[in-house]
Amino acid sequence: MSDPSTTPATVDTDTSTAPVADEVTTRLTALGVPAEMIGKIKDDLGAETVADLASLKESDLTGIGMKTLKVRTVLAALVPAAPVAATAAAVDPTAEIPEGATPSGAQMNGFADMLGGNPMMMMMLMNGQGGDMGLADLVPIPSLVAGYNPKRRDLYLTMMGQVEQRLGGIPIVVIDGDGSINRPLTVEYIQGMEEGREPAENDIYDDADGSPHQVIRVGVDAQSIYDADPLDPTRALQKNGMGIGRVNWSKVSLEAKQVAYFAVMRTKEIDPKSDAHQSWLRDHMKEGVGRLAFRGQAPRAIAEYNEASRTGSLPTLRVMLSRGPRRPEIAPRRRSTVPRNLTGIGGDGNGGSNPSY
């Protein structure tokens, strides 16, 4: 009887090298390489895997009898894909740009590809090398307005700012009543200005139905409203409530803030530049205080508050902020120490001789 233990070994040996041969043959056959040449590439040049094919040189293939033009076609197809595409895809062309920074080359390339522009030309214009021409001149106004978001400091914000400056520095963003951007009207308004039409009177632009819409500057986020500093209502308080003169308004009632506003802006009973006035405010503007905290220091401001309350004209003390690069200070700011006007601050210390409201 024959020994059955030797039979499986014979069967296993027959197919051991088939996958390697098929891999190389399949790849070269797809490129139109004749079977005779495929055999020489595997046998004479030692190609065992598709990865080996990438290392072939023109002299290798011409040396085994392949014609030069065919060699170049095959080698061009065997070149592995460069990793540049993956790198470019990882860069968001609309990513925010930090203050004081410029967009990277990869970001400009991605942005140019997205808009169908020339990256070299866009980078040149970004760096101010285009004379009277700016980066925004390469992008259609509808595309520019569609990508603009005042909450983001990106290339769209930069280019919208260029359009605003080109039109004389006037506001160009049309908004609805809720503060959102009305993009069709913004496109219509900008294009009209570029055609030579007059700016909207008092920054109010009427649509085709006669409904008024406010026009605001580029970078102003009309939907992000912040608490204003009562001593300067054009400035927002810091996140912790700190304002001019290190006065913290975070837990101070709105009516006390409004009286402080009237004392500064109307009656001038408080000078925000005075050290003495700032010190008094730091001592007295605490949690729970109301308008009567000013009865000895700014009585006329309380009267202004009472009148505005009756007529419904109290200030909201809310402000919109604009996003843009901060300008460096030429010299550090110093608090004013003169004149040191102490009039109206402190009273008699007890409030006994002050009128009540």
The answer to whether position 199 is within a domain reads: yes
The answer to whether position 334 is within a domain reads: no
116 and 192 inside one domain: yes
210 and 149 inside one domain: yes
H helix runs in the chain, sequence order = 7-13, 18-30, 35-43, 50-53, 58-63, 68-78, 84-90, 105-115, 119-126, 141-147, 155-166, 183-194, 254-265, 275-284, 299-311
The answer to whether position 63 is within a domain reads: yes
Contact 147, 140 (CB under 8 A): no
Give pLDDT tens digits along the chain (357 positions).
445 454 444 444 444 444 444 578 888 888 888 888 888 888 888 888 888 887 888 888 888 888 888 888 888 887 765 444 434 444 565 666 665 566 666 766 766 666 666 666 666 666 655 556 666 777 788 988 988 888 887 778 888 888 898 889 999 999 998 888 999 999 999 999 999 999 999 999 999 998 999 999 998 888 777 889 999 998 889 989 999 999 999 999 999 999 999 999 999 999 999 999 999 999 999 998 999 999 888 999 999 999 999 999 999 898 876 554 333 333 334 444 444 444 555 554 444 444 444
Structural domain harbouring 299: 222-322
The answer to whether position 337 is within a domain reads: no
The answer to whether position 330 is within a domain reads: no
How many domains does the chain fold into?
A: 3
311 and 239 inside one domain: yes
The residue among 219, 249, 269 that closes a domain is 219
48 and 116 inside one domain: no
Judge if pTM exceeds 0.75.
no
239 and 303 inside one domain: yes
135 and 73 inside one domain: no
The answer to whether position 233 is within a domain reads: yes
The residue among 78, 98, 133 that closes a domain is 78
215 and 233 inside one domain: no
The answer to whether position 329 is within a domain reads: no
95 and 178 inside one domain: yes
229 and 213 inside one domain: no
194 and 107 inside one domain: yes
The answer to whether position 4 is within a domain reads: no
The residue among 51, 78, 105 that closes a domain is 78
Measured in degrees and rounded to the nearest 5, phi and psi for residue 217 equal -80, 155
159 and 247 inside one domain: no
101 and 214 inside one domain: yes
Residue 80: is the preceding peptide bond cis (ω within 30°)?
Answer: no
